[in-house]
A and B are shown apart, each in its own frame.
Chain A
Amino acid sequence: MEIRKLDQMFDVLGTRAKKRLVAAWAIDAHTIMAVSEAVKMGIIEGILVGDEQKIKAVCREHGIDAGTIRIVHCDNDIAAAAMAVDLINKGEGDFLMKGLLSTDRYMRAILNKEKGLMDPGAILSHVTVAEPNNYHKLLIFGDVAIIPLPDLAQKVAITNYLIKTAHFLGIDNPKVGLLAASEQTLPKIPSCADAAIISKMAQRGQIKGATIEGPLGMDLIIDKESAQIKGMNSAVCGDADCILFPNIEAGNTFYKTIVKLLKSELCAVVMGARVPCVLTSRGDSERSKLYSIALAAMLAFKS
Chain B
Amino acid sequence: MISRTVDVEAKEFERQTGWEIKPEGACKDGRCVPLPAPLSSVVDLRIIAERLHMPLVHDEAAGLWCLGPEAGGKALTSARAPDLELPDWHGDTFRLSSLLGQKVLLVAWASW
Q: Do A and B come from one complex?
A: no
- Mark A residues whose CB is within 8 Å of B: none
